[in-house]
Amino acid sequence: MQSQFFQTYFRGLIERCVSVTIELKNGLQIQGQITYVDDNLNFNLVDPEVSDPLKQPQLITLRNSFIRGSTVKYVHIPQEELQEEVLISACKNEVKKQKQ
């Protein structure tokens, strides 16, 4: 149920063509525009850029990137695109649903 909430939120970012930075559990950070997200929070990014291309030269030429949801540690959303009110009210509604 929780992933569905986040999936819906990330789909809103897709519609607005927002570029995000996804930090993986191994420390790698990949920045790009989300083009797809599924129920398992697997992501597709277009024109991905890695945070340290010297450590990951094989990733420099990628045009698209698939990121498995189980490897994601954080998704960094630009401050100007972060809709705090929407997130807070959705989280409160989710807590209410779980208590029922």
- Give the tens place of pLDDT for each residue, 35-68: 999 989 999 999 999 988 778 877 888 899 999 9
CATH number at residue 58: 2.30.30.100
Residues 6+ apart with CB under 8 A from 70: 40
Tokens 């208590």 belong to residue: 99
Q: How confident is the model at residue 30 (pLDDT cuts 50, 70, 90)?
A: very high
pTM over the 0.85 mark: no
Looking at every residue in the chain, the average pLDDT score rounds to 88
- Please tell me the distance from the alpha carbon of residue 6 to that of residue 12, in angstroms, as a whole number: 10
Of residues 21 and 88, more confidence is placed in 21
Tokens 């990949």 belong to residue: 30
**How far apart, in Å, are the Cα atoms of 64 and each of 25, 39, 41, 67?**
20, 20, 16, 10
Provide the domain count of the chain: 1
Residue-number span of the structural domain to which 80 is assigned: 2-99
